[in-house]
């Protein structure tokens, strides 16, 4: 699978509480690696990073596993 990672810098609008809350909701409802890949293609990296601390611990652990999987596939 090819992963299109958003290359945009996070503008101040992406980093507002309202935006990061919305991104956190998206991350919380993420059900698999493919859904996470879609979010990585849409949202700037910094906005995802700030939002990820707002998700549940269990979901954060799943996201870490999916990220490891995706990054290893990109490196291969």
> What's this model's pTM, rounded to 2 decimal places?
0.89
What is the tally of structural domains in the chain? 1
Q: What is the mean pLDDT of residues 3-7?
A: 82
Q: For 6-21, write each residue's pLDDT tens digit.
A: 999 999 999 999 999 9
In a domain, 8, yes or no: no
In a domain, 66, yes or no: yes
In a domain, 42, yes or no: yes
In a domain, 28, yes or no: yes
State which residues form the domain around 28: 17-75
Q: Looking at residue 5, what is its pLDDT? A: 84
In a domain, 7, yes or no: no
* HSE (side-chain half, CA atoms, 13 Å) at 51: 26
Rounded Cα distance between 23 and 52, Å, is 8
Q: For 40-68, write each residue's pLDDT tens digit.
A: 999 999 999 999 999 999 999 999 999 99
């Amino acid at each position: 699978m090819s992963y299109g990672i958003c290359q945009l810098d996070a503008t101040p609008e992406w980093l507002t509480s309202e935006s990061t809350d919305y991104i956190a909701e998206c991350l919380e409802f993420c059900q698999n690696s493919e859904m996470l890949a879609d979010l990585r293609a849409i949202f700037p990296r910094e906005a995802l990073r700030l939002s990820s601390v707002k998700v549940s611990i269990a979901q954060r652990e799943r996201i870490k596993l999916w990220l490891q999987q995706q990054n290893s596939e990109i490196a291969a």
